[in-house]
Structure 1
Amino acid sequence: MERLIEGYRRFRETYWVQNKDVFEALAAGQSPRAMVITCADSRVDPQLIFDAKPGEIFCVRNVAALVPPYKTDSFHHGTSAAIEFAVRSLEVEHVIVLGHAQCGGIRALLAGGDQGDFIGRWMEIAAKAREQALVAAQTSHEGAQHLCERESIKVAVDNLMTFPWVVERVQAGRLKLHGWHFDFELGELERVV
């Protein structure tokens, strides 16, 4: 914890001071052009990867960068609420699903079985990706992991198209959807969709 507090002190004494005008402008509101839906994995930081400044990216993070299909019911829908806010209120022009190499959520999806109270149920969103990866990569677990990471990105982008106001904006040319995979070990970004 002390390391984090020291990091804040360095931020406050250097970066914040040098960019005070940026933070003053941000106090008036946000207007990012892009939303990034990415994994909660500590090794994947979209602001760092895209060299973005504060206020440039509206980001939601969850296990495996999944997007649930559109559904209105009495359950809690944190990722869906973030998508709605970004698309309908902030009117972002791009939604990027950013998956990554060596994803623990995808590993759990491939392993199946009991995954605790929430992870297994959450990962069911990408069941189609698991099926496709296991059929295509009959040779190795590593190959299945590699394919499933990419297939889950495709599922997430497909699920974005179940939200009626996303479809409306995509068809009107006001919103573009992207699916990318980041390999942090190689520093490579690959377009999947």
Structure 2
Amino acid sequence: MALNFGKVEFVRSAANRSGFLRDGLPQFAFAGRSNVGKSSVINRLAGRKNLAYVGASPGKTTQINYFMVDKGAYLVDLPGYGYAKVSKAEKERWGKLMENYFQDEGGLITVGVLIVDIRHKPTENDLTMHRWFRESGCPEIVVANKLDKLKKSQVEPAVQLIRETLELTEEDILVPFSAEKGTGKEELISLLNQACER
């Protein structure tokens, strides 16, 4: 049974390990730089304007936010990284929170969704996140957001650069995406549904 992404509701925020949900439902973990449009991608999947908080200033997601999809899985919005003007202590707290989530004994992540900016080469932080997904053993989908900002002729070279930087193989999944226009939405929903069925 495919999940209906039109039925999404906010469940809770976790500021530490005790807040993690461990009820056995699949968890789609969304990660990305603070200004990459992660919340916009989640909002586009759900067909809602302001389900996930879209901040005017990057770095607003400081906790792990859980959204229930059709009573059958969770979209997990992880704190954005690498940009937010926050204190060192706060950055360390985020890092610890993420580490705890990734290393939880229960293996919480069903599929990792790494969101990168299609216009730029993935950053060192993107590479770290990519490695975390790899090391946790979960399948990963790379979503190259902001597709609407490129000319058609620029898309293929941009996708190639991302694949090379992240050392993706032919089997690895990369979805060119536009949170603005909705391009890639159906493909991503289909991939998430497939991950649930495995």
Question: What TM-score do you get using the length of structure 1 for normalisation?
Answer: 0.38
Higher strand share: 2
Considering only CA atoms, is the larger Rg found in Structure 1 or Structure 2?
Answer: 1
